[in-house]
Structure 1
Amino acid sequence: MGSGLCGLLKGNGDEAKSRQIDSELRKDHVSERKRMKILLLGSADSGKSTIVKQMRLIHSEGFNETEAIDAIFVIRKNIVDAFHALAVGIEQTSSDIPDKEKGVVEQFSQHSNELEIVEEEEELQLLKHFSLIDVGGQRTERRKWIHFFEDVTAVMFVSSLSSYDQIMEEDMAAVQVTASGIPPRQDVTRVTAASKHEPKNRLLDSIDLFHEIVMNQYLQSCSFILFLNKVDLFKAKLSHSKLADFFKTYAGNNDFESAAEFIQGFFTKAPVPSSIKMYVHYTEATDTQQIDFVFAAACDIILQLNLTRAGMQ
């Protein structure tokens, strides 16, 4: 009798604990459903990663020591890439390297075959109501995007205006070793040696990708916030690189306003589902204050639209 009663009490205790766990799971589920999920998409080299870093600085807890150390290696790699590009440019234009600079070129050439770091998906808890999910922009990463499309409230898509005169990195011709002793970038050679197809313009790739995302059946009720990024680099390029040389239908002047409006039209004038609300911002991802303002405005828009759809406004 006593053992039976103890067993019954124990059973009741287990049931109570089970009900408590179920209750907590339901609360977590409701809380998660209330949190609005923002998907951050864009092609590689659009400045998307810089925007994520800005969000972490503004709305999250910044970077821990390990991440700060990792950033050192990224910065070093960017420096090596920049010097390699300069060295290749000097070689292609047959410019003479001053004797005092040759040692610098040789030093950097020793590290020019480092492979590019591939982004992993990352989720940031921003403010009270939002989760920002960033996924890699390389072509090989895009097939994974579909796994993140469920329950998305809004899509932030980042495109680089300054990419209008560039081709996809995967399509870049391999740089050959020449008498200058400048070695090819290993990652470029590896990817493009077998490339047989016509090189694709980076901006056109971004435009095609944007429309592919907009037309996805799982995102038909989302708001789309388009970031036309790298405005500063775009303005600088227009001073020496004509947009009409790469987009034959462009007949305007080579000024920022005309060129930017032309490019924006590729994104916004194509047919999109009537259920989709679209907003456009011109951005410089390196400008923390501007990104803070634009993101706050985008979040406000998303909140207002969700209240309207829920019949609460």
Structure 2
Amino acid sequence: MSSAQSSMQLSNVSDPLRVHVPPNETPEERKRRIAAEKKAKKISEAIDKQLKAERDEMEKTRGTKLLLLGSSESGKTTVLKQLKIIHGKGLENEREQYRHIVHLNVLTAIKALAKGFEVNNLTLENSENDEHLAAILSLSSIKESLNRQSLSLQAAVGGLKSADDATAILLANYESVKAVWSDSAVQKYFESANDIGLQDSAKYFLDNVDRLAQENYLPTDEDILQARIRTLGVTEHKFDINSTTYKIYDVGGHRSQRQYWAPYFDDVNAIIFMAAVSAFDQPLEEDLRINRMRDSLDLFNTICNHPLFKNTSIILFLNKIDILKKKLNRLQLKTYFKEYQGANDFQSVTKFFRREFLSRNKVVDKNVYVHFTHATDTTQMRVIVASVNDMIQRENLKASGLI
């Protein structure tokens, strides 16, 4: 076949992208054809614009759905508080409510310390504080369950006759709380008391008890960020970030709460998974035989490789790095993770945990974005939230085929 014949054959192949030009077209016909093409193009562009507007409106109405998952005590609720500060209406409407929660956190912390002191038959440095220790131990209004690390809003209100009782009890026992906490023997015991269910913010609240016990006390943003409340069930939160509506579902991380996660697994844009890297020396509240970090690793393995999340990106927040840094000054990671043989410094330990989590991902081409976080630090979280938003927008554009 000659090249001329080949060219002729190729020219006869139907090409939907080519405009058919009639043979021997007159100038008048050409003018009408061009006008018709311009009109058709204008109509097509208008339709495309309308469809895009409808898709954008639908997406805006539907929102970007995020799941906030992780073990209990990992800091999920703190991240939501930060989002309220950074992209919401702030915490102003919650201050009065948190006054009672903060006071109950103080009482829970000092009662746990006093109980541990008693169980271990320890002696106070200053014998004059014995009566103050007895006063703390006699606070029967604080339920035994509240001596543990977990504290729920329901317990805060229902555990006492009223939420106001927590404030009344703290004000009535302020001197005893201060005396017991300031005793050097209690301070020493606190440094090694990792098995009595102390919340991570115990020191913060006990160090600030003078301010917290003022008659006119109202919690600061920092106080609210430090306050511990257990998430029970599933809560939905909406935030508008750079014209995108985010629907964030926070589900309780306690083992008994994980059975409620499944219904929220469908149609998820991304998952924020949180793990407290500072918990390497702590047992689970629900099962003292299980290490908290190992539980987080197992849970991440389940979530990361779940069939419904095959194409879902995961943002991994390895949280509480501030507490981790302090712990590494007095504890050896390899005592709790025998497989770890690296240096006991922050850089090496965080690399180890990052590698451990990422190694659980068995899904090829799955994106896992890692951030080391200090969730109570608003400045740091502001930067991380902006980064997460950019990442999610890029992922959404990829899923739409626009990039």
Q: TM-score, length-normalised on structure 1?
A: 0.77
Unpaired runs of 5+ residues, structure 2, are 1-53, 153-229
1:99 — aligned with what? 127
CA displacement 1:13-52 (0-9 Å, x = unmatched) = xxxxxxxxxxxxx999924665211111111111111111
1:137 — aligned with what? 253
1:150 — aligned with what? 266
Aligned partner (choices 231, 238, 242) of residue 119 of structure 1 = 231
1:83 — aligned with what? 110
Unpaired runs of 5+ residues, structure 1, are 1-25, 173-198
1:49 — aligned with what? 77
Tell me: CA distance 1:93–1:28, structure 2 relative to 1, closer, same or farther (3 Å). farther
1:69 — aligned with what? 96
SS in 2 for 1:143: helix
- On the 8 A contact 1:83/1:105 being kept in 2, the answer is no
CA displacement 1:175-221 (0-9 Å, x = unmatched) = xxxxxxxxxxxxxxxxxxxxxxxx00000001100110111111111
1:203 — aligned with what? 293
* Post-superposition offset of 1:289: 1.2
1:294 — aligned with what? 384
Q: Distance in 2 between matches of 1:236 and 1:221?
A: 37
Larger of the two Rg values belongs to structure: 2
Q: Distance in 2 between matches of 1:237 and 1:42?
A: 21
After TM superposition, what 4+ stretches of structure 1 lie above 6 angstroms from structure 2? 26-29
Q: Distance in 1 between matches of 2:365 and 2:263?
A: 22
- On the 8 A contact 1:60/1:124 being kept in 2, the answer is no
Aligned residues: percent identity?
A: 34
Aligned partner (choices 156, 159, 180) of residue 275 of structure 2 = 159
Q: Distance in 2 between matches of 1:35 and 1:304?
A: 15
What letter matches 1:72 in structure 2? R
Q: Distance in 1 between matches of 2:132 and 2:96?
A: 25
Tell me: CA distance 1:93–1:241, structure 2 relative to 1, closer, same or farther (3 Å). farther
- On the 8 A contact 1:220/1:275 being kept in 2, the answer is no
- On the 8 A contact 1:38/1:152 being kept in 2, the answer is yes
SS in 2 for 1:106: helix
2:331 — aligned with what? 241
Q: Distance in 1 between matches of 2:364 and 2:324?
A: 31
CA displacement 1:51-76 (0-9 Å, x = unmatched) = 111111111112354x3333122212
- Aligned residue pairs total 261
* Post-superposition offset of 1:249: 0.7
Q: TM-score, length-normalised on structure 2?
A: 0.61
